[in-house]
Structure 1
Amino acid sequence: MWGDRVTGPDPSTHVLTVPVGDEQLCESVAAFLAGGLAAGERVAYFDDDTADAVLARLDDDGIDVTGPLRTGQFQLVPGEFTRAALLAPLDELDGLLEHTVRSAVDDGWAGLRFTGQMNHGLTRPGGHLLEEYDRTLARAVRGRPVHALCVYDHLRYPDDVIDVMRTLHRDEEQSSPLYDDSLLRITRTGPAHIRLAGQVDHGNRPQVRRAVERFLERVAHGDTDTDTVVADLASLRFCDVAAAVSVIHAADALPVTLRLRLDHVRPSVARLLDRCGAPFAGQLEVRVREPRALRVADAVALAGERPS
């Protein structure tokens, strides 16, 4: 019977991620969900206050979830159901997971992948500790085609809880950004590519200039096979005037053999760059992209359009 656990190598994964802020949280969760969609798995996100931000990051990453929502491959579980699941008796979890995995496979998907917010479990009156829930989850996924990403971020969980959760997971997602102050996250995405997510203000603008100049130096020294540094700004929601001027000046000072390209720039940031002189910087290219992220209510409505 299919419901029996798979013998041989364990097909499941149960991974911990400990984001320092919401930019890293959305980056990790969106990449995890996108991986499941690409692998033909059913993916589920259990919301408890961050689904809008996760949907926005998926859009920033170029992942269109409209089709997967309509087909049932992507399921967005509303906050009230997430909280109800955390309040359910732990001895029901194994049976619930088996039913959910069986349903995913019977519907033609390769398995089940899920993640979400569990911080509601911190305040449940007289309830089980989160560590009991996570231990039960680890036993339930083992031997099944299930991939679980447990998110315990520093904004919502005390350090002592995070320390305990780290001991319950064999694998932890590692992160090595160029910079992350929980307001702005800068990551390297290629030899001459960086990505900025969040907001640039007076406190972190020197880090932006430093990161851009570092990559420009690499290109100038011939350390890459390109003459262009690309900065992906799809997830940059705010930039102050001084930071915009700083980046434009960095591009303006480039030799004619080098270029700086700003990709997927949001219209509001693009307008600021225009006012600060970007059109007159010959070595600077700005490519604009209009965000089209779904809101939770829209995602739920799309899922409701799925044929029965």
Structure 2
Amino acid sequence: MPDPDPSTHLLTVPVGDEQLCESVAAFLAVGLAAGERVVYFDDDTGDAVLARLDDDGIDVTGPLRSGQFHLVPGEFTRAALLAPLDELDGLLEHTVRSALDDGWAGLRLTGQMNHGLTRPGGHRLDEYDRTLARAVRGRPVHALCVYDQLRYPDELIAVMRTLHRREEPSSPLHDDSLLRITEIGPAHVRLAGEVDHGNRPHVRRVLDLLMERVAHGDTDTDTVVADCASLRFCDVAAAVSVIHVADELPVTRRLRLDHVRPGVARLLDRCGAPFAAQLEVRVREPRALCVAEAVALAGGEPS
């Protein structure tokens, strides 16, 4: 029998910031598309989340101006984590009611809570999570709780897993907390983070795997695509390796790098990309807002 509760209370346990930003940006984007109010409680990753939204092609300037997107600055997030539980309960109640009264289809909440680990005087994070669960239950409210492995101890993550009915699944092709490679389609991957000597072989392995699929006719395309919108850095050897992949392709196959950042594109050019006939590089200039700009667009400090 379907669950009549319209709310969701999800847990995600990222292994690093690339997965964190991927999960949070995707969660917020779903709410924006659905006409919900989305709220991000920043502590120290707001700039990175905004950058990932930009990488994903999500323009948040309109939602910030209209009040659909609220980005709560770190000082307000930290104050909420140190407030008594009854005040926190009241804040959540106000946020839910405000979104619905303003005509939004629902409310979507996520953010950082790691400040509660480091400062005395705040309540325990499991108590915070139980308060959040009570606030969303029975309402069109969706909450994503982020407990990443870089900031939270394993024993706390284990407790938090028991408090959530659902955990967001994750199955990357590779994730070493510096570079995350995810599969978008049979011949389409996304690179996020940085490529260096330690993870360079994994990029080559993944590209070779996709090329094999194309060669065996397992896809309906002759082009392997790597989305590089979130690839901030690669070293010279990695750039040369990618060019060699393209050089080794038969004339009927192609490798396309989409949304390449200008700095990475310049490195590829210096390493010979313009002379690789089977390689196509499409450049995109990031235009992400920072937290201060986002708050200013929304009209200043949250009420």
So what's the TM-score if we normalise by structure 2?
Answer: 0.96
Aligned to 1:62: 57
Aligned to 1:99: 94
Q: CA offsets per residue over residues 225-259 of structure 1, 9 Å max, x none?
A: 00101000000000001011011011011011110
Q: CA deviation at 1:93?
A: 3.2
Letter in 1 for 2:90: G
For residues 122 and 269 of structure 2, the distance between their equivalents in structure 1, rounded to whole angstroms, comes to 55
Aligned to 1:181: 176
**Which structure 1 segments of 5+ residues have no match?**
1-7
- Does structure 1 retain, via aligned residues, the 8 Å contact 2:83–2:122? no
- Does structure 2 retain, via aligned residues, the 8 Å contact 1:93–1:140? no
Q: CA deviation at 1:99?
A: 2.0
Q: CA offsets per residue over residues 58-77 of structure 1, 9 Å max, x none?
A: 00000000000000000100
Matches within 5 A, 1:88-237: 88-237=83-232
Q: CA offsets per residue over residues 37-84 of structure 1, 9 Å max, x none?
A: 000000010000100000000000000000000000001000010011
Aligned to 2:81: 86
Q: Does 1:238 align with 2:233?
A: yes
For residues 92 and 120 of structure 2, the distance between their equivalents in structure 1, rounded to whole angstroms, comes to 24
Question: Segments of 4+ in structure 1 off by > 6 A?
Answer: none
Q: CA deviation at 1:305?
A: 7.6
Q: Give the RMSD, CA atoms, in angstroms.
A: 1.3
Secondary structure of 1:304's aligned partner: coil
- Does structure 2 retain, via aligned residues, the 8 Å contact 1:70–1:305? no
Q: CA deviation at 1:87?
A: 1.3
Question: Percent identity at matched positions?
Answer: 87
The counterpart of 2:13, out of the listed 11, 18, 22, is 18
Aligned length: 299
Q: CA deviation at 1:102?
A: 1.6
The counterpart of 1:275, out of the listed 270, 273, 276, is 270
**Which structure 2 segments of 5+ residues have no match?**
none
For residues 96 and 158 of structure 1, the distance between their equivalents in structure 2, rounded to whole angstroms, comes to 27
So what's the TM-score if we normalise by structure 1?
Answer: 0.95
Letter in 2 for 1:301: A
- Does structure 1 retain, via aligned residues, the 8 Å contact 2:172–2:182? yes
For residues 142 and 102 of structure 1, the distance between their equivalents in structure 2, rounded to whole angstroms, comes to 13
Q: CA deviation at 1:300?
A: 0.9
